[in-house]
Amino acid sequence: MGLNFTKKNWKNLIESLRIVAENVETPTVFDFSYRNSTPFQILISTIISLRTRDLVTFSSSEKLFDKAPDPQSILKIDTKEIAQLIYPAGFYKRKAENIKQISKILLDKYEGLVPRNLEALLELPGVGRKTANLTLGLSYRIPALCVDTHVHRIPNRMGLIETKTPEKTEFALTKILPKKYWIEINELLVAFGQTICTPVSPKCSECPFKADCPMIGVGKSR
């Protein structure tokens, strides 16, 4: 049964996305959150994940945390070693510098703890809204809407919103998406966007929403 987008039937949409996600390997940052990782490790693995493939993020994060699992131990190794541990993550040298600075800030200002509010997180070097919101949601279960390329693309393609930037997508979705789904929606749309609603040649024939989706901006599909 198709989803009636005009009524914003979020319950049906979320349930359908969950079915798709059940058969998809969990994205790396979510995997860390499920392994009882600390808020610090979730924050740092999210930073490592930027412009980096999931498998690389996972291995780079594991190597780093095996050596230095907390801000105290990060400060005991030099930036060059941090860079070597997280290589070949994208922009690994810059990320190593940010990881070192973040660790010092957390110890100096927050007793080594990751802050629980968006504004404080955004003040940390290398932390944008995507990283901050994901950290709040996964670390503290604070409702926060993390918008990556999939979360930006798919609701626009479905006609649920009409936005040009991820930041505007975040604000638009917070107005229409029930807060209870804010944390979960990123993981679900990442799985959906990697397997069915891909950026190029989406598998519209396999989509559970094909009867109702307006397929805005879709050229060639499968």
Query: Domain check: are 132 and 44 in the same one?
Result: yes
Write down the pLDDT at residue 4. 53
**222 part of a folded domain:** no
Write down the pLDDT at residue 46. 95
CATH number, domain containing residue 186? 1.10.1670.10
Is residue 86 within 8 Å of 96, Cβ to Cβ? yes
| Euclidean distance between CA atoms 39 and 35, whole angstroms | 11
Query: Domain check: are 41 and 119 in the same one?
Result: yes
At residue 24, does pLDDT exceed 60?
A: yes
Token code pair at residue 97: 């510098």
Choosing from 83, 113, 140, the residue where a domain stops is 140
Q: What mean pLDDT is predicted for residues 49-55?
A: 90
Instruction: Pick the more confident residue, 153 or 34.
Output: 153
At residue 7, does pLDDT exceed 50?
A: no
Query: Domain check: are 59 and 151 in the same one?
Result: no
| Euclidean distance between CA atoms 177 and 196, whole angstroms | 21
**161 part of a folded domain:** yes
Query: Domain check: are 61 and 112 in the same one?
Result: yes
CATH number, domain containing residue 122? 1.10.340.30
Query: Domain check: are 72 and 125 in the same one?
Result: yes
Calculate the alpha carbon distances from 187 to 106, 147, 218 in Å.
27, 10, 22
At residue 2, does pLDDT exceed 70?
A: no
Residues 6 or more apart in contact with residue 30 via CB below 8 angstroms: 138, 187
Query: Domain check: are 154 and 80 in the same one?
Result: no
Residue 105 sits at φ, ψ, to 5 deg, of: -65, -45
**83 part of a folded domain:** yes
Query: Domain check: are 13 and 55 in the same one?
Result: no
| Euclidean distance between CA atoms 205 and 187, whole angstroms | 22
At residue 6, does pLDDT exceed 70?
A: no
**31 part of a folded domain:** no
| pLDDT, averaged across the chain | 93
Q: How confident is the model at residue 26 (pLDDT cuts 50, 70, 90)?
A: confident
Write down the pLDDT at residue 8. 58
- State how many domains the chain has: 2
Helix axes of 92-110 and 79-86: crossing angle, nearest 10 degrees? 120
Write down the pLDDT at residue 114. 98
Query: Domain check: are 126 and 76 in the same one?
Result: yes
Write down the pLDDT at residue 19. 95
Write down the pLDDT at residue 78. 97
Q: How confident is the model at residue 9 (pLDDT cuts 50, 70, 90)?
A: confident
Query: Domain check: are 89 and 10 in the same one?
Result: no
pLDDT in tens, 128-173: 999 999 999 999 999 999 999 999 999 999 999 999 999 999 999 9
Residue 70 sits at φ, ψ, to 5 deg, of: -145, 165
At residue 221, does pLDDT exceed 50?
A: yes
Query: Domain check: are 151 and 199 in the same one?
Result: yes
pLDDT in tens, 175-218: 999 999 999 999 999 999 999 999 999 999 999 999 889 999 99
**32 part of a folded domain:** no
Query: Domain check: are 174 and 110 in the same one?
Result: no
Token code pair at residue 50: 């930027």
**214 part of a folded domain:** no
Range of the domain at 199: 5-25+145-206
**105 part of a folded domain:** yes
The closest of 91, 200, 115 to 153, measured between CA atoms, is 200
Provide the residue type at 123 as one letter: E
**46 part of a folded domain:** yes
